Homo-oligomer: A and B are copies of this chain.
Amino acid sequence: MHASIVTIGDEILIGQIIDTNSAYLAKELDKLGFQVDEILTISDKSEEIKKALANCVGKRDLVILTGGLGPTKDDVTKKVFCEFFDDVLVENSKVLEHVTVLLESIFKKPISDINKQQALVPSTSTVLFNTVGTAPGMLMQKENTTFVSFPGVPFEMKTIFEEELVPYIKKHFQGVFNVHKTIITYGIGESLLAEYLAEWEDRMPPNIKLAYLPSPGKVRLRLSTRGSDRELLLKEIDNQVSLIPEKVLPYIRAYEDIDFPEIVIKELQNRNKTISFAESCTGGRFAVLFNALPGSSAYFKGGIICYATESKVSILGVNPETIQQHSVVSEEVAMEMALQSRLKFKSDYAIATTGNAGPSKGDSDVEVGTVYIGIATPSRIFAKKYELGQPREKVINSAIAKGLELIYNEILKK
Binding site for B on A (CB under 8 A): 10-20, 22-30, 36-44, 48, 70-75, 103, 106-107, 112, 114-115, 134, 153, 155, 178, 180, 182, 189-192, 194-195, 201, 209-216, 222, 224, 257, 277, 283-285, 287-288, 291-292, 294-297, 300-308, 310-311, 314-315, 344-346, 358-360, 362-363, 392, 394
Contacts and interface: CB of A to CB of B under 8 A. Distances in A.
A216 B22 CA distance: 19
A43 B16 CA distance: 25
Nearest to A257: B16
A287 B305 contact: yes
A363 B314 CA distance: 28
A311 B195 contact: no
A212 B74 contact: yes
B43 A37 contact: yes
A156 to B, nearest CB: 10
Contact of A26 (B13, B214, B296): B13
Contacts of A13: 26, 30, 36-39
A304 B307 contact: no
Contact of A19 (B22, B71, B201): B22
Contacts of A106: 189
Contacts of A180: 14, 16
Given A18-B18, A302-B311, 6 more contacts: A13-B39, A14-B180, A37-B42, A40-B40, A74-B212, A103-B191
A201 to B, nearest CB: 7
Contact of A301 (B191, B307, B359): B307
Q: How many copies does the complex hold?
A: 2
A356 to B, nearest CB: 10
Nearest to A133: B214
B300 A304 contact: no
Given A14-B27, A71-B194, A112-B195, A40 B39 contact: yes
B297 A301 contact: no
Contact of A73 (B72, B201, B303): B201
Given A39-B13, A39-B41, A307 B291 contact: yes
Given A70-B212, A301-B307, A39 B17 contact: no
Given A15-B23, A192-B112, A195-B114, A72 B212 contact: yes
10 contacts: A12-B26, A14-B26, A16-B257, A17-B23, A38-B42, A71-B191, A75-B212, A283-B291, A301-B308, A311-B344
Contact of A303 (B37, B39, B75, B305): B305
A29 B15 CA distance: 9
B38 A27 contact: no
A213 to B, nearest CB: 6
A58 B167 CA distance: 44
Nearest to A42: B38
A111 to B, nearest CB: 8
A106 B192 CA distance: 12
A215 to B, nearest CB: 7
A211 B303 contact: no
A209 B76 CA distance: 14
A194 to B, nearest CB: 5
A16 to B, nearest CB: 7
A10 B288 CA distance: 30
Contacts of A345: 308, 311, 315
Nearest to A182: B16
Given A72-B190, A189-B107, A307 B302 contact: yes
B115 A191 contact: yes
Nearest to A288: B284
A363 B178 CA distance: 41
